[in-house]
Structure 1
């Protein structure tokens, strides 16, 4: 009897609420039971206890209402499972906020788009509606899917430069010779014979040949800058920076090598071997290696969360320094003093010539005799030199003794040779007058 009374009282209360227009409320998964105003409370459907969505779609595959970001949204679906209702709005509370009208009503269900809020226990949501037919099924308010938007993330942007430098040393050779028109020599050296009558007068020509022998490269160096920028939204802790040079095989000092690890120094001091890089900060490091490395150069940056890298090719271009590419040739001689002949630039050879006319009249009787003229050409930068020697004989006046006038030209005084007076021979070889 008591049980029937309680049931009767409950039915009366429901009827009173229905007549007075007061809304009822029930949890998602229940049934409103009666017609009239009502609300359904969300109880976590569509997400786990940590607030992680069961389904994510970024961006939204469906059109979203104005004011909703397709990359940061929640799609709520309210279903009546055979019942009928006229829905109003979804109301968010707790960590969420706002009231949002339904966007679409496919198949009797109501779809609501709201901004994204973490769907954990701090978020509350309910939909108000008017029940036309409660039906017998479970009415559900759930999150179909959503997109949490941009999450905090670690991202390092790593870049590097590669600069090569080396020195090229050019090699040269120098040779020198002197030639005469008549081609006479004496003791292996060219010689000019100048006679009183001038018939020995001639020209001598000196030739300086500078030959390019090639070059040798050395002092190779690879260096550059590594730039590590924190472009993410989380601070990063760098645990290792490794620069590897020459991932393609090459030879260094006669040894076949596949990888070289150059020295890396950064503009900040590590703490316990680690670099703390806050959001927006940049770490700059320098590296260098002395040697002719080939291939590519790769830097790998390791953090507590991830690994980042950057690669650049090692390209050897023109030498940064050239030694003796252009050389100066000078000449020092007894005849001309010190003279700069000119310059020669690799890879060309160079030749310099100069001449001098020799005549007996330039010396005369007072300067007759033998002369040796030394001449040295040199490359100023390398101090290499080459010499050429020219001999010159200037004929003196010839004197004959008196006894030579006779035939057989013997002195008529016994036991006395080379006696007497002398007779100057004139400057004619065809005849002369006895004084």
Structure 2
């Protein structure tokens, strides 16, 4: 008697591991502000600026998602090898099994393959990863031609970028650090400092820039302040219109050591102007007074340049004298003493170059256009505090 043995193959079995990772970048912004952006000051004033720097986390950005692991395919049959194709799936990913096509799974043994899933967009950070083996069930006499194995996935952070940032300032130096959070409320911090600037005279306003920077991201913001500095000084028009004869009784000359009737020739060495007459006055420069000089109109040529210089020069002389009498010094109030004003004017009048005369006049005019600060109740015989 013959017996017929029907051999039925057993299904392959699939197990797997799964490790999901991603990189996280922490996003930031920065803002710098100052309590005032413009100050008009007198020379020597100390101006305090209060700066505020705010940094705040704007969110997070994840990237470089990766899901990797091993797939183990076991063959429980002790009488036949099975050739199978191994695939892997995770939602949103493109998964590749290394050497996963036409894999020979030896009888009574197993194969173990590496796989990797990549993602263009953020996947679900938790889920199920499935590996599947498929083969020809007719060839291998198995009930089905497929088997799957699953692993639960939980993505974890791998690399962190800019989680801790450091804030520096172009003036104040290192301000501090801030550490980000992984969810709202986001991290933020405020840094403050003061900067004292002593006002120095410059013909144009001075701008001071300060920049705060996040070192790691190179983000920055700046705050600029402008200081326009003038001396404590008065224009030729002020001195011309504030004499003992002024109707309102506001006599500024009493705060100086000069009188309106003092002759130019008694104060200055008139040099090349000797014998010349200011336009429209009917008298020579030597016969003109300090008050006359403040009324000079100026014009072309040597005479015109002389008028312009003496108009500015007399105002500077009075400004210097004002501080010498009321403060005991010009230091911090006006750039030149009366002696220096006289010396500079005498020097250019001795040379007689109209261009040099006009250049000095322009310099003195810049100083004369200062802060008009005066209290008519001041006692001219008492120094100001």
Q: What is the TM-score normalised by the length of structure 1?
A: 0.49
* Bigger CA radius of gyration: 1
Equivalent residue runs for 1:191-340 within 5 Å: 191=39, 193-194=41-42, 201-230=46-75, 232-246=77-91, 252=92, 262-266=95-99, 273-291=102-120, 292-294=122-124, 295-303=127-135, 304-306=140-142, 307-317=146-156, 319-333=157-171, 339-340=173-174
In 1, Cα distance between equivalents of 2:293 and 2:174: 63
Q: What is the TM-score normalised by the length of structure 2?
A: 0.54
Match for residue 296 of structure 2 among 416, 427, 430: 416
CA contact (8 A) 1:154 1:234 kept: no
CA contact (8 A) 1:223 1:287 kept: yes
Equivalent residue runs for 1:29-40 within 5 Å: none
The runs of 5 or more residues in structure 2 that have no matched partner are 181-185, 247-259, 261-289, 298-310, 328-373
In 2, Cα distance between equivalents of 1:162 and 1:298: 9
Q: 1:206 to 1:432 in 2, by over 3 A?
A: farther
* 1:377 matched residue in structure 2: 212
**Greater RCO, 1 or 2 (C-alpha within 8 Å, sep 6+):** 2
Equivalent residue runs for 1:30-429 within 5 Å: 49-50=2-3, 154=10, 156-180=12-36, 189-191=37-39, 193-194=41-42, 201-230=46-75, 232-246=77-91, 252=92, 262-266=95-99, 273-291=102-120, 292-294=122-124, 295-303=127-135, 304-306=140-142, 307-317=146-156, 319-333=157-171, 339-346=173-180, 347-359=186-198, 363=200, 370-398=205-233, 405-408=243-246, 411-412=291-292, 416-417=296-297, 418=311, 421=314, 422-423=317-318, 424=320, 425-426=322-323, 428=327
In 2, Cα distance between equivalents of 1:238 and 1:165: 32
Q: Aligned pair count?
A: 253
In 2, Cα distance between equivalents of 1:313 and 1:414: 95
In 2, Cα distance between equivalents of 1:221 and 1:308: 24
Which secondary structure state, in structure 2, belongs to the residue aligned with residue 412 of structure 1?
A: helix
The runs of 5 or more residues in structure 1 that have no matched partner are 1-47, 53-150, 181-188, 247-251, 253-259
CA contact (8 A) 2:80 2:107 kept: yes
Displacement after TM superposition at 1:50 (Å): 2.4
In 2, Cα distance between equivalents of 1:388 and 1:243: 56
Displacement after TM superposition at 1:358 (Å): 4.2
Displacement after TM superposition at 1:314 (Å): 2.9
Q: Which has the higher helix share?
A: 2
CA contact (8 A) 2:73 2:105 kept: no
CA contact (8 A) 1:210 1:351 kept: yes
How big is each residue's C-alpha offset from its partner over 1:344-388, in whole Å with a ceiling of 9 and x where there is no partner?
22131121111023456xx5xx77974221111122333322111
Q: 1:305 to 1:290 in 2, by over 3 A?
A: farther
Q: Which has the higher strand share?
A: 1
In 2, Cα distance between equivalents of 1:312 and 1:210: 42
